[in-house]
Structure 1
Amino acid sequence: MNNFLYWFGLASYEMANKKRKVQKIRKHEATFKKELKVIEQVIRERTPYYELQLSFPQVSYNDEEVEMKINRQIQEDIHAFASNIKDDARKFYQLTGFLGQIPLRPFEGVTTFVIHLISPTVLSMTIDYYQFKGGAHGYTKRKAYNYNLMTGDSFFLIDLFDKGYNYRRVINGAISDAINEHPEEYYQGRDSFITINPNQSFYLEPDSLVIYFDLYQIAPYVKGIPEFRIPYEMFEGHLHL
């Protein structure tokens, strides 16, 4: 744990290794509510075999326990992502015999984040994890971070609705209607959208619930990450933030 905290706390943690160029973490502070601040943390690292440019949020909150829960999860995810890029790059260039030579294109890891909603009780944001490990193009995985600011715990889609309310019917209908407006952009037949899953990815905006899917999940790569905005009023008072 000490090593983990050191990795995030000091931008010069690897300056002893001359091959690595790590710029100091810079912080850009954005205040959204009087008692909650989101600080952008940026880590850049470059070697001949991989490049990292990691932008991720750090929360400052007047409830230390809630703050610690949120920041710990984000930091663990960022650390795991960066470690995966570095480990795979080392293994690949060792395996191919190119270690010690300058590759045509190094592996890449990039993260960016968006704050979608801050209310007195809810924080909703997403981090996009982009990686390139060879091939025609890279891959982006979007992860939502939805928190109850009273407890610091993450919550699922089902937690937003009255018990017994058939929210899946409303969401499935809205998504199907949107797809039917542009069916050429989505998979058809056996690969077409049928229903959201129990662990469906989502985030919250001031006026809408946003359901999204991974690349390739319901549409070709060219579509990007499909998102569907569903106004809260469609749930007729059964959704509670």
Structure 2
Amino acid sequence: MQSENRNIVLPRVLSLFPAPVRTVNGIEWGYINSKGRFIIKPQFSVVMDFQDNGFAIVSKEGKYGVINESGQFIVRPKYESIMPFSQGLAVVTTEKGYSVINEKGRIITQKAYKFIGDYENDFALVADTTEEYPYAYGYLNKRGRVAIPIQFKGATNFYEGVAVVQKEDDKFVLINQQGDILKEYDYPFVGEHTGSYLVFQQEEGGLYGYIEENGNVVISPQFQFAQPFQHDLAVVTVPNKGVGLIDSEGKFILKPKYSDIKVLDKKRYAVGRAINSEKPYLGSVYAVADANGQFLSEFIYYDITPYMNGFASANNKQETFFISKSGQIAEGLPVLKGVGSLHLEGDVVKAVIDDIVSYYTRDGKLLYRENMVITLNRQYAVKVRKFKPNTNYLVYYPQVQGMPNGTMERRVNEELKELSNVIDIKPDKQLEYSYEGDFSIQFFKKKLLVLKLFAYNYPFGAAHGMPSETYPHINLQTGQFHNLSDLFKEDSRYIEVLSDVIQTQIDTNSEYDYVFPDSYNGIRLDQPFYVNEKAVYIYFEPYEIAPYAAGFPTFRIPFKEIHDIINTSGSFWKSFH
């Protein structure tokens, strides 16, 4: 037995864990050890877990790089994004497109492509423009060279040496890693190869069924949706009935009467039942079932994650916990108040509960928790307060500390609560939306504190929600909330001046090509804005002058360009000068 196990490679247990700190500069991330102490100090805006190769992807000043466990950069932060390493290689992006780097940070591809997928089974999907297609697919090998020419209309990853690609409309083929065609399928859709049957459509827009690799139909088209087989079972949706689980003969292990089924591991499934059958977009409550269709729990769980290291994470809208393979709450592991997820890595439990990151020992001892007080200087601080009256309504709002007058401080803090949408919500009411709000320090100098209050309102079932941003400008000495007009001299016609500056930027700067034609008509008296040491920033809401994808169109106007109209003797200007 010893000789048989000698070459088994066990998964690497993490020794460093991402941890956030709220600071004057926003949330900064570093890495702590298993005792909750920072080994790599907080300095990054985005971090990922350390991978098995001992590297972690991080972001600093808007660019991505790679560090080792000493915090040293293996790849300097210079990329727009970096995907996790796979088979010793990582996909990176720049303004030119997608490339591949090795673990030394060297680019191994000969050019930038329109798309490159992660490496799987020694190959990566690659896409680029060809004469035939604006977006055609091929495959790269591990040397970064094109191994199978970029020629296909569509393509999937290799599995056990074969892959399904689309040559043209109604023509899919199975190829090997030399690009040889092994089988042709004359169907409008054939899904990826996952080691078992292939999902297919016999008619365009029709129902889904399954075929063998050789093209024989084994389960006739009858499903509205069909997932690939995993562990000899597949999740399918039957029209006008619901979601079920079938075996390789098409027999139902779980009848098609559920709202959702998720694969948790090869023998466990999360089976969902609609919270409100008349409003399925409100989501599902789940039970755990096994591969034989036997239920191991009642329908009492939400947000179940796949099993990892023997446990899944779930919550009951009040507490978050681990579930063992028995389908029941695991004994001897933390049960935490609030809604979120847990992840076990060795003897350390990572918790993200109500959007707050913390770490615990297996027996529930707190190792680290995200700070809830932001120190501005020796006098002032901002406390993070939580407001969660309902499971679908969560706001973290700011409360200022250290102002010279207690009454003034209470008034300021009441105004901040109102601006943060701390409102009356019934705890037992099923909301038709979710609302999440938080804040950060946008700018602080001398007596001026500029906060960024941001939120996201998502109506359940909608294509997307609506973000919001508000920037209160607080004079910490007087308690005044400054308006844009406070920055300028009386009779300065600042609205006209700023409007003209923005119009010029729209007309001359290609960065603003996304602005809808003729949509900009100048700024308003109550125009949203914020300042920093060198400029005023004027911004617009989504859809106001540009598409939703443009976010909040923002225009920077340096103070030196409008100095003649600034009221330099006013309380607003003096609060940070």
Aligned pairs for 1:15-164 (under 5 A) are 20-21=318-319, 23=338, 27-43=371-387, 47=391, 50=392, 52-63=393-404, 64-80=406-422, 83=425, 90=430, 92=432, 107-134=433-460, 135-164=462-491
Instruction: State the shift of 1:155 in Å.
Output: 2.1
Give the SS at the match of 2:501.
helix
Q: Deviation string for 1:194-238 (max 9, x for gaps)?
A: 210011111111211111111111111010011111111112253
Partner Cα separation in structure 1 for residue 545 and residue 536 of structure 2? 19
Give the SS at the match of 1:171.
helix
Give the SS at the match of 1:33.
coil
Matched-pair contact (CA < 8 Å) for 1:66–1:149? no
Q: Deviation string for 1:140-161 (max 9, x for gaps)?
A: 1111211222321222111111
Alpha-carbon distance change, 146 to 60 in structure 1, aligned in 2, over 3 angstroms: same
Which runs of no fewer than 5 residues in structure 1 stay unpaired?
1-17, 93-106
What letter is aligned with 1:188?
P
Please tell me the root mean square deviation across aligned C-alpha atoms, in Å: 2.8
Instruction: State the shift of 1:113 in Å.
Output: 1.6
Alpha-carbon distance change, 218 to 79 in structure 1, aligned in 2, over 3 angstroms: closer
Alpha-carbon distance change, 81 to 128 in structure 1, aligned in 2, over 3 angstroms: farther
Instruction: State the shift of 1:44 in Å.
Output: 5.4
Give the SS at the match of 1:152.
coil
Partner Cα separation in structure 2 for residue 237 and residue 31 of structure 1? 35
What letter is aligned with 2:454?
D
What letter is aligned with 1:185?
Y
Instruction: State the shift of 1:91 in Å.
Output: 6.1
Q: Deviation string for 1:65-122 (max 9, x for gaps)?
A: 33212211122343545739x79x6364xxxxxxxxxxxxxx3211122222223332
Please identify which structure carries the higher helix content: 1
Partner Cα separation in structure 2 for residue 201 and residue 75 of structure 1? 19
Q: 2:513 aligns with which of 178, 181, 184?
A: 184
What letter is aligned with 1:214?
E
Partner Cα separation in structure 1 for residue 390 and residue 547 of structure 2? 32
Structure 1 segments, 4+ long, off by >6 Å, are none
Return 219-228 or 107-116, whichever deviates more.
Answer: 107-116
Partner Cα separation in structure 2 for residue 58 and residue 91 of structure 1? 27
Partner Cα separation in structure 1 for residue 488 and residue 520 of structure 2? 23
Instruction: State the shift of 1:126 in Å.
Output: 1.8
Alpha-carbon distance change, 123 to 91 in structure 1, aligned in 2, over 3 angstroms: closer
Partner Cα separation in structure 2 for residue 152 and residue 218 of structure 1? 33
Output the TM-score relative to the length of structure 1: 0.73
What letter is aligned with 1:118?
F
Alpha-carbon distance change, 194 to 78 in structure 1, aligned in 2, over 3 angstroms: closer
Q: Percent identity?
A: 25
Output the TM-score relative to the length of structure 2: 0.32
Partner Cα separation in structure 2 for residue 115 and residue 176 of structure 1? 29
Partner Cα separation in structure 2 for residue 184 and residue 238 of structure 1? 29
Alpha-carbon distance change, 151 to 222 in structure 1, aligned in 2, over 3 angstroms: same
Give the SS at the match of 2:413.
helix
Instruction: State the shift of 1:30 in Å.
Output: 2.1
Q: Deviation string for 1:124-170 (max 9, x for gaps)?
A: 12201211013100001111211222321222111111111122233
Matched-pair contact (CA < 8 Å) for 1:69–1:153? no
Partner Cα separation in structure 2 for residue 82 and residue 27 of structure 1? 27
Partner Cα separation in structure 2 for residue 232 and residue 34 of structure 1? 29
Q: Give 1:165's aligned residue.
A: 492
Please identify which structure carries the higher strand content: 2
What letter is aligned with 1:40?
V
Q: Give 1:221's aligned residue.
A: 548
Partner Cα separation in structure 2 for residue 69 and residue 237 of structure 1? 34
Matched-pair contact (CA < 8 Å) for 1:65–1:152? no
What letter is aligned with 1:29?
V
Partner Cα separation in structure 1 for residue 557 and residue 537 of structure 2? 6
Partner Cα separation in structure 2 for residue 230 and residue 81 of structure 1? 35
Of structures 1 and 2, the one with the larger relative CO (CA 8 A, separation 6+) is 1
Matched-pair contact (CA < 8 Å) for 1:148–1:155? yes
Matched-pair contact (CA < 8 Å) for 1:66–1:150? no
What letter is aligned with 2:441?
I
Matched-pair contact (CA < 8 Å) for 1:27–1:39? no
Partner Cα separation in structure 2 for residue 71 and residue 201 of structure 1? 20
